[in-house]
Each structure stands twice: as structure tokens, then as C-alpha cells.
Amino acid sequence: MKRLWEKIVSLSGSNLGLKALALIIAMGLWLAGHRDIERAIEVPVEFRNIPSDLMVLDNHVDFVVLRLSGPRTLVSTIDSNEMKLALDLKGAKPGLASYPLGSSSFNIPRGVTTARITPPAINLRLEPAAQRMLPVTVRFSGKPPSGYRIAAIAVQPERVSVRGPAEEMRRLTSVETVPVDIEESPGGFKRKVRLSSDGKPLSFSPDQVELSFSLEEESVARRFPRVAVRAKDFTGAYSVDPPSVYLRLSGPKRILEKIELGVNQVSLNLKGRKAGVYNMPLTFSLPPEIQVVEQKPQRFRVHITRVGR
């Protein structure tokens, strides 16, 4: 080989040598292009002509690996994006089914051979299918901000078509949305939300619903068993019977949790009163959101013995 190369180099200075060199290079390129190589291609699996009353379950193969062998010029030009494995399920029956794979299962160029197919067969389980209209329920995650609650929920459409295994469909009474995080939507929202199969082989039509909900301040009640009954801005002498009052207030939780009742909030108005005995109601000075829902007693016996100056 060394002597041959030296001979080619010595002849390269002549026309004959150049022609010989070009011929050798061309032969080398031709041999390189026709040298056999191997290539692995992932081929997606598709199902065709599935009977309308059946559905495919337990299919653990989304694609097969096809190992091809042949000349480089053929194997390297195969477009993997155009290769598909289409399994025809026409006439399939409920139960287990196995579909062996071979070279004829794929559209392979002439001159290319199949070295290996992984897996060598597609194993399926087919079950009877059913379809029903079911109501949609909303699944929330998290909790509303402190002091708030969900005020209104609207879902459109309220019912969707659900298709799945007949046995599973008999048990279903509704379908849920994917979890909606309330903590990330403090004011509520309106948007499309996907439906959740919860890991079951279900399909929906439509597969999204428009959800809207709003939050409102939570109204709570709070008891105040013994609030002292006193007169505000009165410097004289007086007595009150009974000396305290039972109150139950309601209003937004954020306000009611912090409120404290004293003479500035609950009092007797004795301004301008002279000495004597009076049967009087209470005067309230509370935030506008707070309401008195229960009071015992309603009126008080006030005995003014001295009026201040």
C-alpha cells in the first residue's frame, strides 16, 4: 500500500497521474457511501379503526425502537419524523390482544433491513366503553385568606360528555376540575380550567370549562357575656341596674376578632339628665360593619343621685 501511494504521488505531476488520483478518490467515496451501517429510530405507535364500543387499556408502549441496517446512503437519509407504526384494530374483541411486529409493519426503503424491533410485539387490553353526561364539580386547593370565604361559583358548561371503561363509568357521579389554588387568587377569577381524569382512562368533551368564583368577607358572631354599663362624659353620681349587659355581635371576622367593648363603644347617655330614676336604652358606637344581633336586657334602670357641675 505504501509503494502504491508513492507511485500515485510520483504520477500526480502528470495528467495521467491526476486522472488516476481522481479515480481513486471517487472509488473511495463510493465505497464509503455504500458501507453498511446500523441506526436506531424511535417510531410512535398509532391505533386505527378502534371499534366505537371499545377502548384501549393497559398499553404501555408509546413507541417502538427500530434498529435498521443498510448502506449509509440509504439509512442516513431516512426521516424518523415520517415513520409511524399504525395498528389496525378493526374487528377487535374485548380482552387481551397481541400484535407481533415485523419488517412489513413499517415503511422501510428497499435495500434496508430490520436488525431488531423492540418490543417485538404490542400487547393490549380492550374493554367495553360507555359515554355519559356528568356534572362538573370544582376542586379547590389551599384556603381562602383569613377572614374570607367563597361567595359564588359558576361553571360553564355545567355538564360535559365523559367517555371511559363501562365499569368505571357506572361508578362515576361527577367529574372534577384540576385543583384550583385559592391562595393564588385572593380576589377570585374567571378563566378556563382543565378537567381531571384523576389517573383514570377517561376522555372529556369539552376537556375544559370556564370557571368563575368570588370571595367575600366571612361574617362571624362573637359573644360578650358581661359588658359593664356606664355613662359616658358624666361627672355626677349614679347607679345602674343591672350593672352589665350581654351582647352578641356579628360582622367581618377581621374586625370582630380585634374589637374590645368599653364605655367608648357601649354607654348610657345621661347628658342633660337631672337627679331621678330613668329607664334607659344603651347607646352604641361601633364600626359600621358590626351589628348587634342580641342584647339582654334591652333597657336599664338608672338612678341619678347627683348631677355634676
Written as one string, the DSSP assignment of the chain is -HHHHHHHHHHTTSHHHHHHHHHHHHHHHHHHHTSEEEEEEEEEEEEES--TTEEEE----SEEEEEEEEEHHHHTT--GGG--EEEE-TT--SEEEEEE--GGGS---TT-EEEEEESSEEEEEEEEEEEEEEEEEPPEES-PPTTEEEEEEEEESSEEEEEEEHHHHHH-S-EEESPEESTT-TT-EEEEEEEE-TTSS-EEESSEEEEEEEEEEPEEEEEEEEEE--BSS--SEEEEESSEEEEEEEEEHHHHTT---STTTEEB--TTPPSEEEEEE-EE---TT-EEEEEESSEEEEEEEE---
For residue 237, the model assigns a pLDDT of 94
Give the residue, 185 or 209, on which the prediction is more confident. 209
Residue 124, C-alpha cell as written in the block? 393490549
Cut 0.85: pTM above it: no
For residue 299, the model assigns a pLDDT of 97
For residue 31, the model assigns a pLDDT of 45
Instruction: Give the model confidence (pLDDT) of 19-73 as tens digits.
Output: 555 555 545 544 444 567 888 888 898 889 988 899 888 777 888 998 988 888 8
Residue 20, C-alpha cell as written in the block? 488516476
Give the residue, 184 or 14, on which the prediction is more confident. 184
Task: Tell me: pLDDT of 173 over 90.
Answer: yes
Task: Tell me: pLDDT of 255 over 70.
Answer: yes
By mean pLDDT, which of 93-97, 225-229, 244-248 is the weakest? 93-97
Residue 229, C-alpha cell as written in the block? 354599663
For residue 145, the model assigns a pLDDT of 78
Q: Which residues contact 306 (CB under 8 A, 6 or more apart)?
A: 236, 237, 275
- Strand pairing of 148-156 and 85-88? unpaired
For residue 263, the model assigns a pLDDT of 95
Length of the chain: 309
**At 267, is the pLDDT very low, low, confident or very high (cuts 50, 70, 90)?**
very high
Task: Tell me: pLDDT of 9 over 60.
Answer: no
Instruction: Give the model confidence (pLDDT) of 201-233 as tens digits.
Output: 999 999 999 999 888 888 889 999 999 999 998
Q: What are 241's strand-pairing partners?
A: 301
Q: What percent of the chain has pLDDT over 90?
A: 46
Evaluate whether 114 touches 151 at the Cβ level (below 8 Å). Answer: no
Mean pLDDT of the chain: 86
Evaluate whether 285 touches 268 at the Cβ level (below 8 Å). Answer: no
For residue 40, the model assigns a pLDDT of 87
- The residue-averaged pLDDT of 272-295 equals 95
Instruction: Give the model confidence (pLDDT) of 122-144 as tens digits.
Output: 998 899 999 999 999 999 888 88
Query: How far is 297 from 246, CA to CA, in rounded Å?
Result: 7
- The residue-averaged pLDDT of 158-185 equals 90
Task: Tell me: pLDDT of 293 over 60.
Answer: yes
Nearest to 149 by CA among 255, 253, 256, 290: 253
Domains of the chain with bracketed CATH: 36-128 (2.170.120.30), 138-217 (2.170.120.40), 219-306 (2.170.120.30)
